[in-house]
Each structure stands twice: as C-alpha cells, then as structure tokens.
C-alpha cells in the first residue's frame, strides 16, 4: 500500500488533522500579527527600544520548540490545554519575522515622502495609516509569509504534547517505524507550507506594483 | 452712499526670524543668529550653496525643525505657540524630491490636504480639477500614478498639492533643481505667471543665481548658517560684497 492510497483511505482523518494544523497555525499567526506589527511600529518610532525588543524576539527564536513547550507548561491557563500552549509557542516564534519586517518596511519608506506628509500637516496617525503602513505593506506581508511557513513546520511538533495536527501521523509513524505513516503527515504539511508560500506571495505581488518605482 | 474703505495696503510681515539659531545634537550650528522678515505677497529667495542652511531655515518656518535659540513667527505668532498641524496646513510645501505619495493617484495626491481637512468629496474633486488646470496638467493624468509621470509633471503635481487648500504661504525647496534646463525654464515662467495671479507669500530655496534673479522680489544670500545680505535682484547683481561678488562671478 503506498502513501497516497493510505491517505485516500484515511481521508477523513487526514482532513481532520490538516484542519487542526491549519487552526493552530492560523490562530497563532493572527495573534502574532496583532502583537508583532504594533511592536514593529513602536520600535520604528522609538529607536532605543529596537535592540531590547528585537533581541528578545531573537532569543525566543533560538529556543528549541520542545523546550519552549516545556517552559510554558507551568503557566496558568496556558498550560492547562495543549492547544493553548502550542498556539502561544507558535505565536512567539512568528513574532521575530513580523516585528523585523514591520520595522524594516516602515524604515524603508522614502524619507522625502514621510517628510512631505508631515510638512503638509498630516498628524502622526495619518502619516502612519495613510503613508507608512500602505507603503510598508508588501514587506510586512513578506514577514507574515515567513512566519506562516515557519509555523506550519513547527506545528508538526505540537503532536508531541497532544495538541493534534499533522504531527500525529509523523510521531505515530516514528513510534511504529512506519515510513508511510510519517509521509502521510509530512506530505500534507509540506503542501500546506507551499500553498501558504505561493498564496501569500501572490497577494504580496498584488499589493506591491503600485508602490514600485 | 458711502463705500467702506478698503483694507489699507501696507506691507505686512508674514514670516519673521528673530535672532534664530539652530543646533543639531552634536552641537554644530546649522543656523546662527538669523534675523529676517518676509512680507505678504513677496517671493523671498534663500540663495546659498549646499549646507549653507537654506533648507533648515525653511523647515524652521513649518516647524519641521524647532529653533534652539530665538523665535520664528508666522502671521505674528511664534511657531512654538502654533498648533503644529494647523501651522503646516496654513503653509504649502514643495520639496525637490517632490515627496509625492507613490501609492496615491495624481488626483489623490493633489486632494490630500483638502481630504484630511475633511472637505466634502464633491468640493475636493472640483478643486483638484481646478488645480490641475492651473498647473497645466491634462485632466486624464489624474488617474495616473506618480511613477508614470515625467519629472516636470511630477513637480507640477507637487506644486498643485501644495496649493490645494489655498494656503497663504508657500515654501519651495529647490523645486525645479532636478529638472532638465528646458523644463526648468518652462516651470520657472509658469511659476512667475502663477505668482502674479495668486500673490502668495513665498520663500523659495535655490543655489541657482539665475533662478533667484528671475523669481525673487528679494534675494537673501546665506553662507555657513549666516545671512550675508538681503537685496532686491537689481542691487544684488551690482553689490560689491565679496561673497555676493563671488556668486555673481560664478554665474557669469
């Protein structure tokens, strides 16, 4: 029996696990955007916060995912359920690309454009929402793309602490020394990562041509 | 029947520098002890080489820079006391790099200040049309994006945008500096015709003496952050001041 046949036979379970996987990645990415973009804006405005915030996000990124799950386990409310814990961990991993790209995107806006905006009497909020964020949008979206692709991979490890997702197959396959089972988890996970990469890349190109040149 | 007397035509000071100095954080003085006044309806040209403090002087007027010492007054009120947003919307600003918003169409760029001033949409559209005509831009360019325009067209959009909310004051920072000589000449003459009609109070920065002589009602020469002299064009070319003479010679 080859992998595709196995997946077809167990399509309900494959879809279910893919759904769980998407949910873990989707919610954590959403939370990371809600936290990371404002932090990126903050460090673009207050340079002295740049090092501490990017440094912290960098350190978080270096913690191995299993260790991070372990660290978060004793946390109240979070530690009570595996999916909460995984979502928090995925969010923390996604923060670095989001903060960094938001910061880079905003700093990369032509200073003459920002100065013209201020000089014409736009308030700081108008400069942010009407000029800086739209012009940084494609760079920020590139950060989202990196974060999503990263999260799809890390989320397979969620199964190690019982949070479900496609990692279930991978861990089951590892335990049973069954390559087909491993592939039944790995192939859809790789597919998700590719799909997210291509899809978000397309959106990115859609919004950037107007600003180019 | 008696007609009410019209407003007295006395030159009124719109912008005043009172012994203004401006230091950057390193302590270097970009402007030192500048005192200067600009009258309503005149075009005062700030002339000088790069780094002489012309652009900084301009930014002190719309408070993109705050004086370290002294006081800049606009319409009689110190820029420190002005609500900075109101102050800037009272002043049109045109810069060399134009600073058009690349993600806005030409029409949206021009209508920017009216829009943030919350004019009704209909009035904005009418005003944008009027301005495009004023600066000789074909109406169909309104839908284009800045990157699709030539340098001269972009600069026209920059001028139209600065004039949008009909500000009494206009600051122009080497607006024609990056253009080819023919387009520059065209725009300079259009500016003169425009200024004749609109009678704005203009402060115009340039390092080009010919441009200064053509456009200025008075020329203020700056050198290393200090004001050397303020003279009408006719007297400027005849001046014996060594710095002015050097300038005249360079452009002969």
pLDDT, tens digit (0-9, with 9 covering 90-100), for B136-189? 899 999 999 999 999 889 999 999 999 999 999 999 999 988 888 998 999 999
Q: What is the ipTM of this complex?
A: 0.85
**For residues A109 and A36, what is the distance between their CA atoms, to the nearest angstrom?**
19
* pLDDT of A67 higher than 80: yes
Task: Please give the average per-residue pLDDT across A53-74, as a whole number.
Answer: 91
**For residues B78 and A8, what is the distance between their CA atoms, to the nearest angstrom?**
77
**Residue A103 has what DSSP assignment?**
H
Q: Name the residue among B114, B97, B121 with its Cα closest to residue B166.
A: B114
Q: Name the residue among B134, B133, B119, B56 with its Cα closest to residue B89.
A: B119
**For residues B152 and B72, what is the distance between their CA atoms, to the nearest angstrom?**
33
Question: How does strand B77-78 pair with strand B69-74?
Answer: antiparallel
Contact B36, B17 (CB under 8 A): yes
Q: A49: distance to nearest CA of chain B, Å? A: 20
Secondary structure of A44-60 as H, E, C letters: HHCHHHHHHHHHHHHHH
Asked whether the beta carbons of residue B161 and residue A120 sit closer than 8 angstroms, the reply is yes
A47 in reach of chain B (CB within 8 A): no
* pLDDT of A40 higher than 90: yes
Phi and psi at A185, nearest 5°, equal -90, -40
Asked whether the beta carbons of residue A135 and residue B102 sit closer than 8 angstroms, the reply is yes
**For residues B57 and B54, what is the distance between their CA atoms, to the nearest angstrom?**
5
Could you tell me what percent of chain A has a pLDDT over 70?
Answer: 97
Residues of chain A positioned with their CB less than 8 A from the CB of B160: none
Asked whether the beta carbons of residue A212 and residue B147 sit closer than 8 angstroms, the reply is yes
Least confident of A9-13, B6-10, B52-56, B81-85: B6-10
pLDDT of B10: 57
Residues of chain A positioned with their CB less than 8 A from the CB of B88: 118-121
* pLDDT of A213 higher than 60: no
Q: Name the residue among A89, A61, A71 with its Cα closest to residue A157.
A: A89
Q: How many residues does chain A have?
A: 213
Residues with Cβ within 8 Å of residue A41, at least 6 apart in sequence: A102, A106, A128
A209 in reach of chain B (CB within 8 A): no
Q: How confident is the model at residue B2 (pLDDT cuts 50, 70, 90)?
A: very low
Q: Which has the higher per-residue pLDDT, B10 or A80?
A: A80
Helices (H), B35-180: 54-61, 84-89, 106-110, 112-116, 121-134, 151-163
Least confident of A125-129, B88-92, B181-185, B246-250: B246-250
Asked whether the beta carbons of residue A131 and residue B101 sit closer than 8 angstroms, the reply is yes
pLDDT of B51: 87
Nearest CA in chain B to A125: B116
- Exposed, middle or buried, A196 (CB in 10 Å: 0-12/13-18/19+)? buried
* pLDDT of B11 higher than 70: no
**3-class DSSP state of A206:** helix
- pLDDT tens-digit map of A88-144: 999 999 999 999 999 999 999 999 899 999 999 999 999 999 999 999 999 999 999
Q: How confident is the model at residue A212 (pLDDT cuts 50, 70, 90)?
A: very low
Asked whether the beta carbons of residue A120 and residue B87 sit closer than 8 angstroms, the reply is no
Question: How does strand B69-74 pair with strand B43-47?
Answer: unpaired
* pLDDT of B119 higher than 70: yes
A197 bridge partner residues:
none
Task: Please give the average per-residue pLDDT across A178-200, as a whole number.
Answer: 93
B172 bridge partner residues:
B94, B204
Asked whether the beta carbons of residue B88 and residue A120 sit closer than 8 angstroms, the reply is yes
Nearest CA in chain B to A122: B85
Task: Please give the average per-residue pLDDT across B24-42, as a whole number.
Answer: 92
Question: How does strand B43-47 pair with strand B218-223?
Answer: parallel
Q: A38: distance to nearest CA of chain B, Å? A: 22
- pLDDT tens-digit map of A131-149: 999 999 999 999 999 999 9
Asked whether the beta carbons of residue A115 and residue B64 sit closer than 8 angstroms, the reply is yes
pLDDT of A125: 93
């Amino acid at each position: 029996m080859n992998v595709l046949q196995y997946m077809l036979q167990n399509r309900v379970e494959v879809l279910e696990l893919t759904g769980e996987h998407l949910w873990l990645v989707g919610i954590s990415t959403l939370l990371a955007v809600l936290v990371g973009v404002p932090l990126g804006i903050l460090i673009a405005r207050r340079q002295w916060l740049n090092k501490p915030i990017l440094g912290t996000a960098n350190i978080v990124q270096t913690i191995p995912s299993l260790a991070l799950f372990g660290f978060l386990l004793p946390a109240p409310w979070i530690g009570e359920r595996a999916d909460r814990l995984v979502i928090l961990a995925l969010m923390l991993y996604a923060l670095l690309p989001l903060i960094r790209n938001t910061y880079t995107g905003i700093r990369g806006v032509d200073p003459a454009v920002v100065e013209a905006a201020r000089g014409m009497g736009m308030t700081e909020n108008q400069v942010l929402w009407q000029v800086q964020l739209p012009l940084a949008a494609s760079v920020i979206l590139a950060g989202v793309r990196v974060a999503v692709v990263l999260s799809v991979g890390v989320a397979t490890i969620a199964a190690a602490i019982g949070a479900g997702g496609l990692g279930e197959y991978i861990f089951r396959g590892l335990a049973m020394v069954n390559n087909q089972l491993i592939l039944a988890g790995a192939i859809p996970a790789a597919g998700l990562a590719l799909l997210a990469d291509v899809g978000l890349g397309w959106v990115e190109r859609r919004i950037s041509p107007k600003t180019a040149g | 029947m008696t007609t009410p007397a019209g407003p007295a035509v006395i030159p009124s000071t719109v912008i005043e520098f009172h012994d203004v100095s401006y230091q950057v954080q390193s302590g270097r003085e970009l402007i030192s002890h500048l005192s200067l006044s600009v009258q309503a309806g005149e075009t005062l040209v700030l002339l000088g080489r790069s780094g002489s403090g012309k652009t900084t002087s301009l930014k002190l007027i719309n408070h993109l820079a705050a004086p370290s010492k002294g006081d800049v007054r606009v319409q009689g009120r110190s820029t420190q006391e002005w609500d900075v947003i109101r102050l800037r919307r009272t002043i049109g600003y045109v810069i060399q790099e134009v600073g058009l918003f690349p993600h806005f169409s030409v029409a949206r760029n021009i209508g920017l200040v009216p829009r943030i001033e919350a004019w009704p949409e209909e009035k904005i559209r009418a005003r944008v049309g009027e301005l495009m005509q004023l600066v000789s831009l074909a109406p169909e360019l309104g839908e284009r994006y800045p990157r699709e325009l030539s340098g001269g067209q972009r600069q026209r959009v920059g001028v139209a945008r600065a004039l949008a909310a009909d500000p009494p004051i206009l600051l122009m920072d080497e607006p024609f500096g990056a253009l080819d000589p023919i387009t520059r000449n065209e725009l300079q003459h259009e500016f003169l015709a425009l200024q004749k009609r609109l009678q704005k109070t203009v402060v115009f920065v340039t390092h080009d003496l010919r441009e200064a002589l053509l456009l200025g009602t008075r020329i203020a020469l700056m050198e290393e952050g200090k004001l050397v002299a303020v003279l009408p064009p006719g007297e400027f070319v005849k001046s014996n001041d060594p710095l002015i003479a050097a300038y005249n010679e360079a452009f002969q």
